[in-house]
Structure 1
Amino acid sequence: MAEAEKSSLSLEAWLMIGLLVSVVLSTAVIAIVSAGKTTVFSPYENGSEYEEQQLTFMRDSLEDFTVANTMSTPMLVNDWQNPHRTLLVIAAPEKPFDAAEAAAIHDFVTERAGKVILASNSTNAQLVAEEFGVKYFDAPVRDDINTGRYYEVTNDNGDRISPDTKKLWSVASVTRDVSTMGDEKAVPCSEDDVRQENVQNCRIPVLFHRPTAIQVLDEQADEGRDVHVLASASTSAEIDAGKGESNPTLGEGETGLIIRIDYPGQTVLDQRSLELGGDIGEISATGSIVFVSDHSVLANHLWDQDYAEATGKQQCDSELYIQFGHMCWDTDSEGLNKGLGDTTWRGNEAFFTALVNDMMEFDNKELSATISRNTASFNVVFDESRHVSSTLSMPFTEAMGAIVLLTSDGVLKWLIILNLFALLAIAIMVVPEKENWRHVFD
């Protein structure tokens, strides 16, 4: 009987076995699910195999800002320091948001004056969009083969690739709804305009890979906000729902490609200008969120002009537009007038650089000039939590995300501490009492 008791495992051993088994099973499940997955649309992946689909060029363009990333969850955005000086970039969310994450992003923009760019061509972004009264369609947009606004692409030999009417171009405003612009909407923004942040009365061409459509649902609108449709597809564009001639056509201005929503007049704490005392105090700031209907607009192959041209994207001076009789952004009636300036597409970098600079608080007169004139005082955070990583890194990133999430929540943090105390108490109770030790020999 005594030998049987000695051979049985103690409670501590069973607890350790259970812990090890749970860790192994969790790691195996995560590894199996993420097997064969490659991280794309990341600002930190420098491998040449998927270079076109990464955001490394965008990160390099924004190097004057303080650039960071988050691997855990967007739920923590409201815990960040100086949210009104922080831009969150969410590109190509492969994992959908949950309701809590969507609500946190909404609060970040509407209550903390945070800035967000959400670029997606799928309904994975829909829960966030719903918080702002915006709808993402679940199918790509395609245009008319004869009159549509799509761009030409050539192969390595310079030969025309069969036209893809889902590869759209548009001309975008940085600050104003296109429908409210007059003759100035035909004026192209010059490089000096972008550099000097003088982009209120001009527009910039933007290329899309395969966008979906987005719409503002007025009945769900928040109060005290400014909504601007910065870019949209043509009147002939339709939602490619696989219904042939019965595909829905939303109409001019309704097939949104880029939508900006601003929430001005929020009160935040920061160092104030000398006119307001130069101390830490309340200032007014603007929260902004920009919905983009295609994540590829931020990818390397559309971000940089030289890289894009090397991969076959054609400018308006290409003979292909004339030869095949469809419009480019400087010949379309709703496009730019090349008589008013240079209409060259300078990569999507030109538009999004101007957009980021305009969203930030650089022109906030209530903010200390020491901060507003220092780009490094503003943060750009790339959200990596929405991406599916490789088999080796996925268990680590998921574990780190869980730890950060749990230890950042006040209730969950204390729950973890209490559980640790409970385990310690159990361990103390199950340790057998030893016999009193005594000397046998003096």
Structure 2
Amino acid sequence: MAEDDTSGIKLETWLLVGFIVAMLLSTTVIIATSANKTTVYSAYVTGEDQNVQYQQVSSMRDSLGDDGLDYVIANTMSTPMLVNDWREPHRTMLVIAAPEKPFDNAEAEALHEFVTERGGKVIIAANSTNAQTVADKFDVKFFDAPVVDPNRYYEVASQTGEAEPADSRKLWAVAGVNKVWDDQFERRPYCSAESLQDSSKYSDCALPVLFHRPTAIQVLDNEDTSRNVKVLAHASGSAFIARENMDANDPDNPILGGNNTGLIIRMDYPGIETIDQVKGVREGNVKVTGSIVFVSDHSVLANHLWDIADAEVTGKQQCDSGFYGERPCWDSLLSSSEGSGTDWNGNQDYFVTLIRDMMEHENEDISTVITSKNSNFYIVFDESRHVTSAMSSPFTEAMGAIVMLTSDTLLKWLIVLNLMALLSIAIMVVPEKENWRHVFDLTRFRERPNKVDPNQYLQRVREAMMAKVRQFNDLTRDEMARKTPGEIQSMVKDPRLIELLYSQQRSYSNEELRQLLQQIRRWGK
């Protein structure tokens, strides 16, 4: 006789319990590893404490998105390895700010292909070696310590208006978006507000850029003729890497030389063939330029250096401040012919112009229907490199795992819905019914894997008798259920077995039940 499935935990219950336990364990592990960690340098965090908010890049997103220049803003939460699946990669820029997790080799290979073969654009801003795997693909080295420049650092005032202690790791530089001046002491034309609107003008002028605590970046191989390499900003010749301390005379603190102490490095890969809309509202082959910019400090994109209002609140001082004394400021390397001055207006002006110059806005091969509108270009913020909060980590990790399967929005939701459907089906699974024609062995209770509860002996013997009657008469369960007690008694005929089936007052000892089992086995033969 088959065991009754109601006597144990059902399969669907085990499935449900296993699913819940797996969800709880994975969520607990993710939350535990993310506890006491705050997300910073994110384009989407807006409700944090003010000091934390200054470390986000939400102002950059606002400046470039619907509230600003109307670029299409997106993000990736899983991995930048999927960049080559994106549509129009040559019109897409990936912004990686403050990678807190290092890249693996596959991700670095994907980014290299994105730039050098697909014409994609990338900005990587980091002051640590977490970006080194990607930098290796482009023959760039990130140092693992901050740069100290006794000649080019800016002043910061406290909330009371007093000068904070001088910090020669907070550097300023003067940089063009696509031009390098051979003489590092030559005065560059200052990019006025009018110049920033005209590509023929902003390509020949420069702007001040402020860094919080940058490291140094260096081009190791400049012999590759397939690319154009430009060190757009660098420290002065007196700068050194503060590996051990702030002492310039310490031999463990190397002095690289001004041009080798890079702060912003741009690499362009021209002549990449792709397909886009050309004149005549049709698709055709066009040549585009893949570009990547390495920035030695992630804080250049942070709110407190991006937006001039936040910069003023946090005490950043212009060159006319008395705190500088006789020390040179960025106005010593800039000249203004329009009487506009040389004030720093936040890093926003420089990087917005840099992004515009890197994009294909001036590509004459592509139809002006495309190039004239920022809404035809995409800026993607890489959120996968950040340590997220305990509350958002489970969602981020789950969606990241799904996105690893596909970058298509429709397919992502289909995967989610299919997982839910499979779970629902698993919960509703009913164990397969026992074959109603099988060999009975009712006497070998003790050899069963799960012994029967003695209180159920009588009920199970009755069920065994009813099952044998049903099978002996070739009846289905439904047909058997429709039989009246009288019809069943006429099929059984044996008074003792009829009493077993229908007497509610009769009790049986174990010995009597064993005798009845023997009688049931002989019945029908």
Using the size of structure 1 for normalisation, the TM-score is 0.88
What per-residue deviation string (whole Å, max 9, x for no partner) do you get for residues 326-377 of structure 1?
110123xxx2235686211111011101101000101010101111111111
3-state SS, counterpart of residue 182 of structure 2: helix
Residue type at the aligned position of 2:191: C
In the alignment, which residue of structure 1 is the partner of 2:39? 39
Deviation at 1:9, TM superposition (A): 3.8
CA contact (8 A) 2:132 2:142 kept: yes
SS of residue in 1 equivalent to 2:360 = coil
Would you say the 8 A contact 2:11–2:429 is kept in 1? no
The runs of 5 or more residues in structure 2 that have no matched partner are: 437-475, 485-525
Which digits, 9 at most, give the CA deviation of each residue in 1:196-232, with x for residues without a partner? 122222111000000011011107x655111110000
Query: Counterpart in 2 of 1:371?
Result: 370
SS of residue in 1 equivalent to 2:258: coil
**What's the offset of the Cα at 1:35?**
0.5
Amino acid of the structure 1 residue aligned with 2:327: H
Secondary structure, counterpart of 2:342 in structure 1: coil
TM superposition shift of 1:433: 3.9
Q: 1:119, CA displacement in angstroms?
A: 0.5
Q: Give the equivalent residue in structure 1 for 2:396.
A: 397
CA distance in 1, matches of 2:429, 2:34: 40
State which of 319, 333, 336 in structure 1 corresponds to 2:334.
336
Which amino acid counterpart does residue 241 of structure 1 have in structure 2? R
Does 2:283 correspond to 1:280? yes
Q: How does 1:148-167 map to 2 (within 5 A)?
A: 148-167=151-170
The farther-off stretch of 286-295 and 38-47 is: 38-47
The 3-state SS of whatever aligns with 1:290 is strand
Q: CA shift at 1:176, angstroms?
A: 2.1
Identity of aligned residues (%): 54
**Residue 312 (structure 1) shift:** 0.9
Q: In the TM superposition, what is the alpha-carbon distance from 1:430 to its structure 2 partner? A: 5.9
Letter of the aligned partner of 1:126 in structure 2? Q
Return the index of the structure with the highest Cα Rg: 2
> What amino acid does structure 2 have at the position aligned with 1:329?
W
Map of 1:103 onto structure 2:
109
- How far does residue 10 in structure 1 lie from its aligned partner after superposition? 4.8
- In structure 1, what is the equivalent of residue 468 of structure 2? none
Seen in structure 2, the aligned counterparts of structure 1 residues 340 and 141 have a Cα distance that, compared at 3 Å, is: farther
Counterpart-to-counterpart distance in 2, 1:167 and 1:269:
44
Post-superposition shift, 1:320? Answer: 1.4
1:141 matched to 2:120: no
Residue 182 to residue 367, structure 1, CA distance change in 2 (3 Å): farther
The equivalent of 2:361 in structure 1 is: 362
Q: Which moved more, 1:29-38 or 1:53-62?
A: 53-62
- Given the alignment, which residue of 40, 60, 63 partners 1:61? 63
SS of 1:25's equivalent in the other structure is helix
Amino acid at match of 2:110: A
AA partner of residue 36 (structure 1):
N
Q: What letter matches 1:156 in structure 2?
A: Q
Q: 1:190 aligns with which of 192, 209, 221?
A: 192
Tell me which residue corresponds to 1:292: 295
Contact kept? 1:178, 1:231, Cα under 8 Å: no
Displacement after TM superposition at 1:44 (Å): 1.6
Q: What are the Cα deviations for residues 166-197 of structure 1, in whole angstroms up to 9, with x where unaligned? A: 000000111023438895x5221111111212
Find the aligned partners of 1:41 and 1:192 in 2 and give their Cα distance. 30
Q: 1:214 to 1:376 in 2, by over 3 A?
A: same
**Whole-angstrom distance in 1 between the partners of 2:391 and 2:130:** 25
SS in 1 for 2:96: strand
What is residue 431 of structure 1 aligned with on the other side?
A: 432
Matched, 1:86 2:92: yes
Q: 2:29 aligned with 1:29, yes or no?
A: yes
- CA–CA separation in structure 2 for the residues paired with 1:330 and 1:160: 20
Once the two structures are superposed, residues 282-340 of structure 1 have per-residue CA deviations (whole angstroms, 9 ceiling, x without a partner) of 11111101000001001111111222122111111111112xx3110123xxx223568
Equivalent residue number for residue 19 of structure 1: 19
Deviation, 1:17, is 3.2
Deviates more, 1:427-436 or 1:244-253: 427-436
Matched-pair contact (CA < 8 Å) for 1:177–1:227: no
CA-based RMSD of the aligned residues comes to 3.1
Aligned: 1:201 with 2:204: yes
SS at match of 1:179: coil
Which stretch shows the higher mean deviation, 12-21 or 112-121?
Answer: 12-21
CA distance, structure 2, for counterparts of residue 120 and residue 257 of structure 1: 10
Which residue number corresponds to residue 454 of structure 2?
none
Structure 1 residue 13: Cα displacement: 4.1
| 2:235 aligned with 1:237 | no
Using the size of structure 2 for normalisation, the TM-score is 0.75
> Any idea what SS the aligned residue of 2:194 has?
helix
Query: What is the CA-CA distance between 1:139 and the residue it aligns to?
Result: 0.7
How many Å separate the matches in 1 of 2:328 and 2:229? 29
Letter in 1 for 2:239: A
Q: Write the distance in 1 (CA, Å) between the matches of 2:294 and 2:278.
A: 31
C-alpha distance in structure 1 between counterparts of 2:87 and 2:58, whole Å: 25
Give the 3-state SS of the residue equivalent to 1:401 in structure 2: helix
Ranked by relative contact order (alpha carbons within 8 Å, sequence separation 6 or more), the top structure is: 1
Residue 136 of structure 2 corresponds to 130
Give 1:54 deviation, angstroms: 1.2
Does the Cα contact within 8 Å between 1:133 and 1:216 map onto a contact in 2?
yes
Equivalent residues of 2:99, 2:385 under 8 A apart: yes
Code of the residue aligned with 1:46 in structure 2: it is T
Q: What CA distance in whole angstroms lies between the structure 1 residues aligned with 2:335 and 2:35?
A: 50
